[in-house]
Amino acid sequence: MAEPAASSSSGASLPLIESELYFLIARFLSTGPCRRALKVLVQELEQHQLLPKRLDWQGNEHYRSYEELVLSNKHVAPDHLLQICKRIGPILDKEIPPSISRVNSLLGAGRQSLLRTAKDCRNTVWKGSAFAALHRGRPPEMPVNYGTPPNLVEVHRAKQLTGYAKFSTSFPGSMYQHVKMHRRILGHLSSVYCVAFDRTGHRIFTGSDDCLVKIWSTHNGRLFATLRGHSAEISDMAVNYENTMIAAGSCDKMIRVWCLRTCAPVAVLHGHTGSITSLQFSPMVKGSLRYMVSTGADGTVCFWQWDTDSMKFNTKPVKFTEKPRPGVQMLCSSFSVGGMFLATGSTDHVIRMYFFGSETPEKIAELESHADKVDSIQFSNGGDRFISGSRDGTARIWRFEQAEWRSILLDMSDRLLGDTCAEEDKFMKPKVTMIAWNQNDNYVVTAVNNHLLKVWNSSTGQLLHDLVGHADEVFVLETHPFDCRIMLSAGHDGNIFIWDITKGTKTKHYFNMIEGQGHGAVFDCKFSPDGQHFACTDSHGHLLIFGFGCSRPYEKIPDQMFFHTDYRPLIRDSNNYVLDEQTQQAPHLMPPPFLVDVDGNPHPTKYQRLVPGRENCADEHLIPQLGYVATSDGEVVEQVIGQQTVDQDEPGLEPSILDGMIRQLQLEQDQRTGADQESAPSGPQNGEGTPRRAFRRPSLDIQSPPNIGLRRSGQVEGVRQMHQNAPRSQMATERDLQAWRRRVVVPEIPPSLLRKQEEYRIAKGEEERDLYATENKKSFESLEKSDSESSLIQSKRRLHRRKYSKYRTRKNIEQLESSEEERDNCFGLVEQEAEESEGSGSSDEEEEWRSDKKSNSNSSSDSSSRYSDWIADAGINLQPPLRSSRRTALRYCSTSEDDVSAEKSSPPKRRRRKRRKKPKPKKQEEADAAAQPLNLELSYDWHPPVWITDTALRRSPFVPQMGTR
């Protein structure tokens, strides 16, 4: 019997999907707490015939009850509707990404709605009021995949309405896409490896292989000054924290310091016998006392002391000679934020730590965790950690805990999950080429020789991102001064990238292509302190200035900017201060030079007004005087000699023959006086390192006279050598000197800002000093807790020693001697400090005595290898030669060059003979007596064990040897 066909008009017009939805709702309610609602719903659905109907073979619809539908659809579970809703969201997110990923809601609106389309989310208009109303008035984090975020005007309008705005919202990462190159300027004839900003960000310094340091304007690219004096490549530069001086180290083994206000030379420092590899001003503030540190290829670290009030350097540095074997070089250095710690890397794989908490710098640790040279090192912005990069393919993040430096290993061979190894990487040993922290120290970035940049979590050492884009090795990593997301990288492939390291994405890319010369390798980059500019230097002598905003101010300068005096020959005195050979004047006292191109051709008059000091000159004074000059190759070229003058006919300006003869006689007399002083035995020099009478060093405010006699002999540097006599117009007058004293080449930091920066550095220094003392105290307490356990072990050793006293092995003998020497070193620590403070003579003898002991120990260790370990079995108590091996002293002492030279000059017999200690004077005995209570308070762990002190001396029996009668 066939079922009656459905005749309800309400059920016939209902779409099938709606009737199925009613059925699924009823099934969902069947397992929930709403039983009465289910009963009422089923009654209404059956009354109105809203449930899905059955079709027969003729296409007629037949009504079915709720129970019949359940029995015929047993595959539909009660949670069938819930599972459908859960799967819709992720599927839609792949097609149209939402505002907030992984958050699915059936009630969402906008880009969170399940009914969203690509057209609805394409052009979203952001208003300040709507933006401020989101999330209880607090602007949320901008979505990662949002196409066009709100502009800064709307963001700041929202901030005014709510009083709050996130940094990432106010300054989105896409903002750095608007950075552009303002100008590329050719200012050097050789590669430029050093670039730096001053502390205000208004000036740029470049140091090149053409021996010059140049000062540029950040905001328009003007060339302000050229600092001459070095005779080899510039290897590193540093600006002090007061923004009053710049120091430059060179391959000529010297450090030159100039005053930034007047460009006058402040000091010429001689302390290294090799090239300068790194140069740092210490951030430590201790009254007016400051330090500058330099490392050299000779394996030494020099700490130069200077005073902020007088701006004078102590010419004799505190020197540490870190040369355990020949050929060791110090490569890099880095100060902590407070200046209490200094970390250095070297070619002998060792990281050396220095501490500034006492009166003088002292070495506190040697870290030997790397297997190859450590050529990059950097302290964090917080100052409590530092990272070291090595050629062994690893980097380590170090932290001082419990009186030792502990590290987290970053292996460059690590890879991300799912990342496959390339074929060429299988045969390449990874090496770290550069390291950097981001601004908040959450991430570290390492550059690897396979052209990858790796981003690591600095706390856990987990690899987060691999930044791909470079095609050659990267030696430049620079973090943004205040944006923790941004990192800049540059390499020898000519590419400059701005990265967002939190996302691992590329924000901006620039390729340094030089027309007609290919690409130029980028050697150095630096951000300005305000983050609005960054400067780069390349292998072709260019300075590249990048930044936000308009480039119109940079269009007023030429592409090639040189002064016609840049490469003139210099003459030097005995202290290596220089004068211009033609004008016999100090370079900073010479008249304003002319602006020329790379070939020496003068620029038009409009460019000559860019030279400081020529802004208000008349037009006739901006036309240079040209002359024919013979170069070193014999070619005659036309170059700038001086300024054309119209006042040659005025009386008193003609060069006088008599004045020239008098000046020449004075020069010859000064030369003879200087030669006599050099040949005679020189007494103690002035502590300030002032030059001889022949050349008075110019001070900072009172400059030296323009014409001061110098030795004519000396190294003459410069690519373009010009030997013609300078015209009278290039001699500085007294009025010119007064005007140049008042000029300011580099502005100073405002006093209020300088005071705040010093207070911050002082606070960080005290924090680092407290950290060092606290961690050492923790270690001291842990040693005291282990005293009870060590005493039990020592008593067992004593019993064992009494029972087996006849058996003496070489190991026991070494333990006995080393423990005795350890005791001598421990109780002689204060005595050693007193002897070091007594004078230089005693310290020299002590160093020589130590070297003698070390040489004897080496020879004895070689000769003792032919003795047997066990000697009691044969009935003989022969002993190998006594070893005099010393453990490393607790306090590291610096070895000066005078000690090394004295040791080399001493005869061999005298060096082999052991020296007896001289009787100490009364003052030293009093110092030892005063320091004795301090020694007695040492931990029990430093005392010799009982089994060593409780030994009886035994007489060795006579054993006849071959040849004895």
* pLDDT of 627: 62
Residue 824: CA atoms inside 13 Å, Cβ hemisphere, count?
11
pTM flag (> 0.75)? no
> What are the pLDDT digits (tens) for 496-539?
999 999 999 999 999 999 988 889 999 999 999 999 999 999 99
List CB contacts of 108: < 8 A, sequence separation 6 or more.
98, 114
Place of tokens 């901008």: 142
* pLDDT of 93: 83
Please give the structure tokens belonging to residue 766.
């005290």
Closest C-alpha among 93, 106, 85 to residue 24: 85
DSSP conformation letters of 580-593: ETTT-S-GGGSPP-
Distance CA 935, CA 833 (A): 12
Please give the structure tokens belonging to residue 476.
């430049």
> What are the pLDDT digits (tens) for 751-796?
999 999 999 999 999 999 998 888 888 766 665 555 555 555 565 5
> Could you tell me which residue, 944 or 398, shows the higher pLDDT?
398
Model confidence band, residue 495 (pLDDT cutoffs 50, 70, 90): very high
Model confidence band, residue 346 (pLDDT cutoffs 50, 70, 90): very high
Range with lowest mean pLDDT among 99-103, 600-604, 765-769, 839-843: 839-843
> Could you tell me which residue, 729 or 60, shows the higher pLDDT?
60
Distance CA 411, CA 723 (A): 58
Asked if the model's pLDDT at residue 850 lies above 80, the reply is: no
DSSP conformation letters of 545-556: EEESS--GGGGG
* pLDDT of 150: 64
Distance CA 216, CA 238 (A): 16
* pLDDT of 325: 82
Please give the structure tokens belonging to residue 591.
């008249």
* pLDDT of 358: 85
Please give the structure tokens belonging to residue 794.
């020592």
List CB contacts of 110: < 8 A, sequence separation 6 or more.
99, 116, 120, 121
The sign of the torsion formed by the CA atoms of 128, 131, 136, 142 equals negative
Q: Please state, rounded to an integer, the average pLDDT across all residues of the chain.
A: 75
What is the mean predicted confidence (pLDDT) over 200-212? 94
> What are the pLDDT digits (tens) for 356-382?
988 889 999 999 999 999 999 999 998
> What are the pLDDT digits (tens) for 112-167?
888 888 776 665 555 555 555 555 444 455 544 455 666 667 677 767 766 666 77
